[in-house]
Structure 1
Amino acid sequence: MMTILVRLGQKVNVTQFLFKKSNQVHSSLSEIPYGPFNSSLQRRWKKLQETAKTRMQEQRTRDHKLDKLVLRLRQLNRALSLQQIMSTRKRGPYVSLQIISRWKNVLSLNIPPGSFIRKYPHIFEVFALPPRRNMCCKVTKKMRDLIREEESIVRELELENVVRLKKILMMSVNGKLNIHALRLSRRELGLPIDFRESILSKYSDDFVLIDLETVGLVESDKKGLRGVAEVEKWREKEFREKWLSEFETKYSFPINFPTGFSFEPGFRERLKNWQRLPYVKPYDRTESVRIRTNKGNDQFEKRVVGVLHEFLCLTVSKMIEVQQLVHFRKGLGIEVNLREVILKHPGIFYISTKGNAETVFLREGYIGWCLAEPNSVDTARRKMLELILLGVRNTKQLRTRTENEIIIDQNELENEENVNTNETENDWGTYAGGWAIPILDTFDANE
């Protein structure tokens, strides 16, 4: 075999020499970042792995009505977050526009806070605060009345909240849940702000506080109606009214595909077989169901679907964000990829990716963008949502208010008179001057 002579007098094999040089060139090319000067070089790109997140961004059937609902509810939640911050102010339920301009990241806004306030004059009211006429903002009376209405309804439904929490604990693996998970999903479950004291501590015959962040169930009512899942009530109704066979309805779920859903070959047959598949129901607790089974077990997957279905039925609006649902995975024993299960059953669940979040809907609970069976809490929230949908429309009465109507009550100014005029307090300390620029006057009316 041919050899070549190196500077030091050593003989090296030609093929080994060329192979070594090619490896050096390949390693040097891999270190060079892709740019305009090396765009002609051939590079091998790693094939993207198909996951639940990639499938959500692909061309799947969308429910545009539910997507629009998510966007509007996101705006409403931001308005309620701003109202919650205003309500904790020491001087009164109002705040200077200059301070609000710093809360863009706190409120997760993609526009200036001043523009956000100006978009919803039915929710926020801008007024000049004497004596220096600083521009401030507060929540309108109509919005405050709706917030109080929702709070009063939640208080009246105290016993229903007790039953709701007992059902969630009955579905858990060992009858225990993290209070932090309940706190994050408080609005979705229709619980009051102080549910720890007003429900968990008050009803000591039903709940026990194991530690500061763990609540347990004293006694589960498996034989009563509280242990019956909502899907079982639907099966009984289908069996009685439609005269279907027990074999068809015993383990089935209501299926509602979105408009324009395309069926792949063999999809209907697989769905029919899956509907007939037996599984362990959400409130049936056995030692064999430790929600840890081999991947691909259809019975285990159907149990997960049953738990998710029942949990969404217990929510007020039949929807919840995936990030909030993840906190219940350990307690409910769902040790699987939630997105995989949700995307695999588009006739039962719908996941929306609008509003920088992933929101799961129970498809049977909605007709269009409204609940099929409205409740009092959701009705109160829909009234708030109507103010969001109004936007800047029907604001003629708002513009014709007198000065006496836009000045805040004298009770809210009692603390203001004792404040030093050279300094104004905010959440991060004080700043000199105490002045506020009339931000809203600088924006275009078409924004």
Structure 2
Amino acid sequence: MTAATLPRTLTFLAVFAPASLLAAPWTLERAVTTALEHSPDARVAQARIDAAQALVTQAQAAWLPQLSLSSRYTATNSSMPAFGSILNQRAFSFGLDFNHPGQIDNLNATGTLAYNLYSGGRASAGRHAARAGVEAASSDLQATRHQLAAAVVKAALNLQKAREAVVALEGGVRAYEAAVTVARARFEAGQLLKADFLSLEVQLAQTREALASARHSAALAARGFHFVLGLEPTEEPVEFVADDPALAQLSAPATADFSRRPELDAMQARVRAAEAMVTAARGGHRPTVNAFASYQYDQGWKLDRHADGWLAGLAVDVAVFDGGQTSGRVRQASAELAQAREMLRKLTLGISLEVEQARLAHADAVERRDVTAQAVAQAEESAALSRARFERESLLGADLIGAESRLLEARLRRTVALADERIALVDLRRALGLDPLGTSAAITTR
């Protein structure tokens, strides 16, 4: 494989899908979109957003009135509850025997409306924490999508490496078969030692063995592709687009700024949530004020009376002493805030190291790509000269084996270097918080 074949070779990347998805040739962008729709990781991250939004809904309830309805029917001959039912039914008379009121029944229906006027800042803090949780979950989803996009590209390139290895080994098998044919003719003519002839046959057998192993690896790489996409494997043939723009136009970032990493955004949101929880915990030292109003209706059949009534007012609650529960909650929330801040600092340091490693890995991959191009050209020329000399009976079989082996190794190294450079570039873009493919439309959070 030469440098001239690089664009076409690297962009014939496959994404396996069910038969219903194989109507059109695959592109990397379409493959990423499929992975984002079907991957369990993306669906789990989306479910976490839904759960976080549910917490926001719960927190918002503090600013809405609470209405409850209740009803119950009772019958008793006990003095105190019977006397209460008599009063609620407006059935009191001085002729009643309070010690023996008899059997009294009562059907009560009550509606209560309550509204929190002040909660010591706990409601506001809870809402801030819930909203920060949604932001963190959204950033987690974005990070998951970046990771999935990078995984799709890596799986595609790994599959391509496996297929190119098969192609290279098939070329090696053909070269050794031709050499064995020439060697057999020379051996039968008494112009070649049997040891040299057998060495070529052994090398041919070993290359065929390596080819079988490479085909098996390519099959496993295809299955790995299905796994990354979150799809079931299929035996349907797959068509590939030539000159995939998503891969051909991929360029190295011009900056080392990683402030756009969604993992950082998620951790910063968790720090804000922890700060809000400290505020909520401190609210336990403050009073709570609630307004309430209720209406009730009572009906009794024993006395054949009924009546209604209402109640309204304000309730102020102050925890003068709670055994240290509030202070303990404040200390716990403060400790969790300190943990979150240190985790943010650790994450920042880790990402900085990851970016530097990705940058150096890409630089190394670029250098290896350039070097292997020259190595393949030199190995091809050397192998061609060796074959011609072997056919003219001026080269030993062992020397031909060495030349063919070096050519095969150079081609395999070139295949690996080409794919590794693209993989390293994708890793570098992901490490900087950029869309690994540069197609932001496919990675946008829902």
TM-score by length of 2: 0.21
Higher percent of residues as helix: 2
Bigger CA radius of gyration: 2
TM-score by length of 1: 0.21
